[in-house]
Amino acid sequence: MSDTLDPAIRQFITDRFYQPGFMTNFDTRIVTLEYGLCVIEMPASPLILQDQGFFHGGAIGALGDTAGGTVARTVLSYPGDVLALEYKVNFLRPGVGDKLVARASVLRKGRSAIITRVDIDCVTGGEAKLCAAMQQTVVPVGAG
């Protein structure tokens, strides 16, 4: 097993990520994409803030889910898709800041499921504070 990201898989992931859809509506972008590691940023906007001015828990969960699914794709042996089977998120502090940054890694790659870990930071003026932690199980879909 190689620990480098195959260029075809990188291109597949990037193409899928930037297709018009949920995440692209919020100017979300991939910052780092490596085998077993993915970092995604989402800038603050009124679209993802709740009525008290904090990042909405749904936006934090969606970002974590996307980062976890994206990192899971990096460890597949083929360019392929995954679906979330489940995830749990712990909100550690109110989400305030200029942006959210999700750092996802693969905890375990099994034959039928991939377990990911995602830490989500709220960043203000370059200072990051952990605001949520997620663990997720995804399953590959389609033929490999």
Per-residue pLDDT of the chain (144 residues; tens, 9 = 90+): 468 999 999 999 999 999 988 888 899 999 999 999 999 999 999 999 999 999 999 999 999 999 999 999 999 999 999 999 999 999 999 999 999 999 999 999 998 999 999 999 999 999 999 999 999 999 999 765
Concatenated DSSP letters for 68-85? HHHHHHHTSSSS-EEEEE
d(CA 106, CA 37): 7
Please state the domain extents for the chain: 7-141
The fourth-level CATH superfamily of domain 7-141 is Hotdog Thioesterase (3.10.129.10)
Closest by alpha carbon to 74, among 103, 100, 105, 101?
105
d(CA 133, CA 103): 10
